Amino acid sequence: MKKVIMGNHSVSHGVMASEVKVISAYPITPQTHIVELLSEMCGNGDIDAKFIKVESEHSAMAACVGASAAGSRAFTATSSQGLLLMHEMLHWAVGARLPIVLANVNRAVGPPWSIWTDQNDSLSQRDVGWLQIYCESNQETQDTIPQAFKIAEELQMPVMIVLDAFFLSHTYEIVDIITKEEVRKFLPEYKPEIKIDTKDPHSFGNLGGPDVYMELRYMIQEAMEKGIDVIKRVDKEFEEVFGRGYGLIQPYRCDDAETILVTSGTVSSTTRAVIDQMRDEGIKIGSLKIRVFRPFPFEEVFEVLSKAKKVAVIDRNISFGNGGIFYQEIKSALYGRTDIPIVGYIAGLGGRDITPSVIREIADKAIGDDKPERYINWIGVKK
Amino acid sequence: MVKKLEFKSYKDMPIRAMTLSTMMWNLTGSWRNVRPYYDFKTSPCIAGCPTSENIQKYIYLVTEKRYEEAWSTIIESNPMPAITGRVCFHPCMSKCTRKDYDEPVNINAIERSLGDMGLDNPGWMTKVKGTESQKVAVVGSGPAGLSCAFYLARAGFTVTLFEMEKALGGVLRWGIPEYRLTNEVLDRVISSMLEAGPIEVKTGVEVGKEISLEELEKDFDAVFLGTGLTKSRSLGMDGEEGDGIEAGLSFLKKVNGGEKVDPGKRVVVIGGGNTAMDVARCAIRSGSEVTVVYRRTINEMPAIEEEIEEAEREGVKFHFLAAPLEIKRNGDSLTSVVFQKMELGKPDESGRRRPVAVEGETFEMEVDRMFSAIGEQADLEGIDGMLDCEWNLIKADQKMGQCSREKFYAGGDVVTGAASVVEAIAAGRKAAEKMIRGFRGQSEPEEIEDRIVGIDDMNIDYFTKVKQNRVPRIPSEEIKGTFREIKTGYTDELLEKEAERCFSCGVCNYCDNCWVFCPDVAIHRRENEYEIDLDYCKGCLICVEECPRNALSTREEGK
């Protein structure tokens, strides 16, 4: 059934259709609608889940850890400072290999206090070990939730799905709403081999000496690497049932493109409009949306970008002392191809709008500058 | 401890950081320095009930729909819940923890529902045969006498119950109007009690006049006097004896006896106690305009608050700080009463402020009838002299009812002065229990001090505010010309909902919180109890903290 709904509610519908058993969350702008609707769904019986109210995001994730360890499908949603407060427990979910799904609404980190979007909250969790999938539309957001559970449960790894504050979270779009009955054809019931069972007590998360620690970490990396194929396969299985697929990355008019703009999140849609405009002008330009950030799809990205003459990366984030975080990833993906200049553009921090003219400015700069002096460029800073 | 495993490959390891073998060998109970234990305390309602009904327990049983057990629980300490459920002033409810949270649990209404169920299920009452040799005379069949007779008979002792009126019930019959307690309910309660054991009834016999206490002392092993307060106190005014002026009690007796009465158009009732309220409400039902005149203020009124509220609701007017001064007549018939205005002076021995006349301030009220309800007195003819009396009441041990002569016990209003039905029931039961211990040569039970739980002892976070379920009632507009019962009692659904409101203060009601929260899975759920597995309990005391009702306590190990 098609409905016009907001991005946050797309998440809620995805969670409902995935028949999650435990939801624990703490409210934070701009995420709150997600759990508000979920609590209503729990209240009126649309979803047979336990909704656990907690006093902080740290506890929210701790509750999900407990629920997942006990064999339940668990979900939480958060944003910005909330995600940062969860940090310790995010590590725990990975180390304990728990297939929790978290929706993070990208919101800039304070101070100065901000409620508007940028990616520094989720990207600062880059090395924790969560899979990260960045969404672009309400439809994609909803569809990614059951995908995320399937991926997570197969890999026994937690998955974070990420959406932009306001540009997605509060924007209404037409969404073909999926139902539990449909999702059952795609996502099987979660029946973990290992779970906490009071009748068969083991110690979980106990002391692991130097003789076992590395092996456990090795297995996490192994799961991440295996993740690329699993995500691809799960996406295909989803497409078979629902007729929609999203891939690891989404190249747009890249086949003969000399310049490729690399994007993520909602900026990707705006960029495509600019690409079409420039193509009409005869400029050979394309764009590449990175959907799956962890595990990073090195091969797929190399495959697309290695054919270009120039790559421009738009980052709505900043790793201070280095540069854009996607920029670093793209550089490492193209390692060895010194013939392709890769230029980074920092734009849209703290919710500053990235309009078509901003993207056009970046594209023109990238094309016009054959030997850029700076590889980290700030767009729109009042100097 | 188990052997340490050496992994040759990561492939042999579980992906989770966990032990492969059981951890049952690890008796973490050795870490404990404080131990939790189940320790039930006293719910404040129980402490507040004069006859110590196990309220927490029977409400819990109602939530479990175990009605017969719930009813039996009440019967242990009160043989007439159908009556107290209607007329009790329910001090339990003013002690209820919920009172400090939202509204008290309507214990009174729950009790009534159970009482009515008991009447509808006569099989619930176990019938006892006379197995004991001793015989007891019980004088007076009001709540004290009935209660005493019941508990003696239930223990197998033969009781002869003397009543001076033709029908049993005492004040329950002639003192409480039909709209609060119908004769039908009263008859059913009394007959169920009489069937419970060997009780012989002798009505129309006035002890002290037709049979002397000496005779009873000779013929019986013990005598209980629960003769109540049967004489109206007079106003002590000139013209009080004439037409149009009547004692409230005698009016009530007529009304309750089903006699047609016409109290007249303009009625004034003197007094502020329950009898005054009953008279006023009976008169308003007969179509009169009723004014209650009381010499102090509403704050000093001895009547049950609910009765005052009901009277107001039904249209009874109140005039405070006034006392009758002069009766005016036209020929024989009453025309008006002159009242003296009063003010409150220094507190008297009852702690209430004494009313003092305001010099020269009077007013006149035109009335057709005046009822006096300024208190009742005991009729001690034939008793005084045989037993020690004081303040025109029998002198008896307030707890056990023992009088100044060995075989004699007394309880209820004749000992305490005007009190309540439930206190009389308690006095009757306690005297019966004392006699039984005496007959059987048992020692007196040790007195254990109650540890009463209050709101500060509870983990109130576990409760949500829920308003008391109101008892369905007939609208106040419909009371004129009818004496039918105002309150129709809870439906099954309301009963269940109201019972669910009980916090079960200080006593486990198997909510599972301790069991759910124990991080060591060291609490085991058994049939109607939990067991703490001390081999694994680390003494974190989360169970104690998270118990909503303070049913657990702690003790330091080694002390």
Q: How far is A261 from chain B (nearest CA, A)?
A: 39
Contact B410, B426 (CB under 8 A): no
Q: Which residues contact B170 (CB under 8 A, 6 or more apart)?
A: B140, B141, B142, B143, B145, B146, B163, B226, B228
Residue B293 pairs in a beta bridge with B270, B319
Q: Is A203 found in the same domain as A279?
A: no
- A241 membership: H or E segment, kind and range: helix A210-242
Give the three-class secondary structure for B549. Answer: coil
Q: What angle do CA B313, B319, B320 make, to 5 degrees?
A: 115
Q: Is A228 found in the same domain as A88?
A: yes
The CA distance from B461 to B445, in Å, is 38
Express each pLDDT in A155-201 by its tens digit.
999 999 999 999 999 999 999 999 999 999 999 999 998 999 988 88
DSSP classification of residue B455: G
The CA distance from A87 to A110, in Å, is 16
Residue A49 covered by a domain: yes
Lowest mean pLDDT among B84-88, B182-186, B284-288, B495-499: B284-288
Give the pLDDT of residue A188. 97
Look at the alpha carbons of A333, A336, A341, A343 in this order and tell me if their dihedral is positive or negative.
positive
The CA distance from A297 to A23, in Å, is 30
Alpha carbon B204 to chain centroid, angstroms: 29
Give the pLDDT of residue B121. 95
Q: Is A225 found in the same domain as A77?
A: yes
- B143 membership: H or E segment, kind and range: helix B143-154
Q: Please provide the DSSP assignment of B479-498 as one string.
A: GTT----SB----HHHHHHH
By C-alpha distance, which of B231, B256, B355, B365 is closest to B301?
B355
Instruction: State mean pLDDT over B527-548.
Output: 95
Cβ of A205 within 8 Å of Cβ of B13? The answer is no
pTM metric for this prediction: 0.78
The CA distance from A10 to A169, in Å, is 9
Other C-beta atoms closer than 10 Å to the C-beta of A281 total: 7
Instruction: State mean pLDDT over B76-98.
Output: 95
- Interface confidence (ipTM) of the complex: 0.83
Q: Is A85 found in the same domain as A222?
A: yes
Identify residues of A whose CB sits under 8 angstroms from chain B CBs.
Answer: 95-97, 156, 194, 198, 200-206, 208, 211-212, 215-216, 218-219, 223
By C-alpha distance, which of B541, B512, B493, B483 is closest to B35?
B541
Lowest mean pLDDT among A312-321, B126-135, B155-164: B126-135
Distances (CA, A) of B152 to A112, B74, B202, B408, B434: 81, 17, 17, 15, 10
Strands B369-372 and B266-270: parallel
A116 is written with which tokens?
Answer: 């508007």
Give the pLDDT of residue A83. 98
User: Above 80 in pLDDT, residue B183?
Assistant: yes
Q: Which residues contact A181 (CB under 8 A, 6 or more apart)?
A: none
Give the pLDDT of residue B3. 65
Cβ of B17 within 8 Å of Cβ of A202? The answer is no
The CA distance from A189 to A180, in Å, is 11
The CA distance from B222 to A133, in Å, is 89
B129 is written with which tokens?
Answer: 């045969």
The CA distance from A102 to A83, in Å, is 10
Q: How far is A98 from chain B (nearest CA, A)?
A: 9
Considering chain B, what percentage of its residues have pLDDT values greater than 70? 99
Q: Is A228 found in the same domain as A372?
A: no
Q: Which residue, A242, A260, A278, sits at the end of a domain?
A: A242
pLDDT band at A375 (very low <50, low <70, confident <90, very high): confident
Residue A155 covered by a domain: yes
Lowest mean pLDDT among A36-45, B72-81, B266-275: B266-275
Instruction: State mean pLDDT over B265-289.
Output: 91
Residue A34 covered by a domain: yes
Residue A280 covered by a domain: yes
User: Above 70 in pLDDT, residue B198?
Assistant: yes
Out of B15, B21, B521, the one facing A198 most closely (by C-beta) is B521
Helices vs. strands in chain A: H and E counts, helices first: 13, 15
Look at the alpha carbons of A326, A332, A338, A339 in this order and tell me if their dihedral is positive or negative.
negative
Distances (CA, A) of B136 to B128, B155, B244, B399, B457: 16, 12, 44, 19, 45
Other C-beta atoms closer than 10 Å to the C-beta of B345 total: 11
Which H, E and C letters describe B223-277, residue by residue?
EEECCCCCEECCCCCCCCCCCCEEEHHHHHHHHHCCCCCCCCCEEEEECCCHHHH
Q: Which domain holds residue A370?
A: 249-378
Residue A383 covered by a domain: no
Q: Is A262 found in the same domain as A204?
A: no
Type of residue found at B531 = E
Cβ of B17 within 8 Å of Cβ of A198? The answer is no
The CA distance from B375 to B395, in Å, is 19
CATH number at residue A26: 3.40.50.970
pLDDT band at B1 (very low <50, low <70, confident <90, very high): low
User: Above 90 in pLDDT, residue B478?
Assistant: no
Burial tier of B425 (Cβ tally within 10 Å: 0-12, 13-18, 19+): buried
Q: Is A267 found in the same domain as A346?
A: yes
Give the pLDDT of residue B351. 78
User: Above 90 in pLDDT, residue A228?
Assistant: yes
Considering chain A, what percentage of its residues have pLDDT values greater than 90? 94
Type of residue found at A268 = S
Give the pLDDT of residue B231. 85
pLDDT band at B330 (very low <50, low <70, confident <90, very high): confident
Per-residue burial over B381-410, b if 16 or more Cβ lie within 10 Å, else e, is ebbeebbebeeebbebbeebbbbeeebbbb
Domain count of chain A? Answer: 2
User: Above 60 in pLDDT, residue B348?
Assistant: yes
Lowest mean pLDDT among A33-42, B71-80, B215-224, B245-254: B245-254
Out of B10, B17, B521, the one facing A204 most closely (by C-beta) is B17
The CA distance from A227 to A125, in Å, is 18
The CA distance from B268 to B369, in Å, is 6
> Which chain B residues are closer than 8 Å to A215 by Cβ?
7, 10, 13
Greater model confidence, B351 or B288: B288
Residue A164 covered by a domain: yes
Give the pLDDT of residue B477. 74
Lowest mean pLDDT among A2-16, A103-117, A275-289, B167-181: B167-181
Give the pLDDT of residue B254. 87
Q: Which residue, A242, A260, A283, sits at the end of a domain?
A: A242
Which H, E and C letters describe A160-213, residue by residue?
EEEEECCCCCCCEEEEECCCHHHHHCCCCCCCCCCCCCCCCCCCECCCCCHHHH
Q: Which residue, A219, A242, A265, sits at the end of a domain?
A: A242
Cβ of A215 within 8 Å of Cβ of B10? The answer is yes
Q: Is A322 found in the same domain as A363?
A: yes
User: Above 60 in pLDDT, residue B2?
Assistant: no
Express each pLDDT in B229-253 by its tens digit.
988 888 888 777 878 888 888 888 8
CATH number at residue A263: 3.40.50.920
Q: How far is A200 from chain B (nearest CA, A)?
A: 7
The CA distance from B64 to B60, in Å, is 6
Domains of chain B (ranges, CATH numbers): 10-41+508-556 (3.30.70.20), 45-124+453-495 (no CATH), 135-171+187-230+381-440 (3.50.50.60), 234-376 (3.50.50.60)
By C-alpha distance, which of B390, B255, B241 is closest to B327?
B241
Out of A97, A200, A223, the one facing B22 most closely (by C-beta) is A200
Chain A residue with the nearest C-alpha to that of B9:
A215
Q: Is A207 found in the same domain as A101?
A: yes
Residue A29 covered by a domain: yes
Residue with tokens 């303040």, as numbered in its chain: B391
> Which chain B residues are closer than 8 Å to A204 by Cβ?
16-18
Q: Is A212 found in the same domain as A264?
A: no
B64 is written with which tokens?
Answer: 């479990």
Express each pLDDT in A9-58 by its tens digit.
999 999 999 999 999 999 999 999 999 999 999 999 999 999 999 999 99
Q: Is A253 found in the same domain as A302?
A: yes
> Which chain A residues are closer than 8 Å to B10 by Cβ?
215-216, 218-219
Residue A114 covered by a domain: yes
The CA distance from A101 to A154, in Å, is 13
Cβ of B20 within 8 Å of Cβ of A203? The answer is no
The CA distance from A208 to B485, in Å, is 74
> Which chain A residues are closer than 8 Å to B15 by Cβ?
97, 156, 194, 216, 219, 223
Q: Is A167 found in the same domain as A126?
A: yes
The CA distance from B133 to B439, in Å, is 9
In B381-520, alpha helices (H): 413-416, 421-440, 492-500, 513-517
Contact B506, B55 (CB under 8 A): no
Express each pLDDT in B98-134 by its tens digit.
999 999 999 999 999 999 999 999 999 999 998 899 9
